Amino acid sequence: MNSHQPAGRRAGLCSKAAGFTLVEMLAVMIIIALLAALTLAGMSVASRTADIARARADMERIKNSVADNQLTGTPVLSLTDPWGTSYQCTTSTNGLLSVWSYGPDKTSNTPDDIIY
């Protein structure tokens, strides 16, 4: 045996240095970025759903508050929707109360309005 050869060569091990290639690192980074994007998109949908649920619950509380006010004279709740605008209320000619929110775009008569 030649005593000048490194130990790895004598044992027949690969002489290639251990590590990751640039392509492997880029592939891992792309996978992580895709997973992060999917997670953020799912969180956005969940947040919007939660905001709509909160708005509906608030509108129910406002309707109950108006009914209590008519019976007992207690003050009517004044709440803002999850997007920072006041809820809108109106009473029809037959006495039915309608409560609505302009929704995320804060604009009247658009598809994202929430009506209760």
- Domain 22-115 fold is Glycoprotein, Type 4 Pilin (3.30.700)
| Tens of each residue's pLDDT in the chain, 116 residues | 555 555 555 555 555 667 889 999 999 999 999 999 999 988 989 999 999 999 999 999 999 998 898 889 888 888 999 999 999 998 888 888 899 999 999 999 999 999 98
Q: Which two tokens stand for residue 55?
A: 């708005």
Q: What is the pLDDT of residue 52?
A: 93
Q: Is-contact 59 67, C-beta < 8 A?
A: no
Q: Which two tokens stand for residue 13?
A: 């091990």
Q: What is the pLDDT of residue 32?
A: 97
What is the rounded (10 degree) CA torsion for 6, 12, 17, 19?
-140
Q: What is the pTM of this model?
A: 0.65
Total Cβ atoms within 10 A of residue 100: 17
Give CA–CA dist 73/80, Å, rounded: 22
Give CA–CA dist 101/52, Å, rounded: 10
Q: What is the pLDDT of residue 15?
A: 58
Provide the β-strand partners of residue 89. Answer: 99
Q: What is the pLDDT of residue 107?
A: 92
Total Cβ atoms within 10 A of residue 55: 22
Q: Domain map of the chain by residue range?
A: 22-115
Q: Output phi, psi for 59, to 5 deg.
A: -65, -35
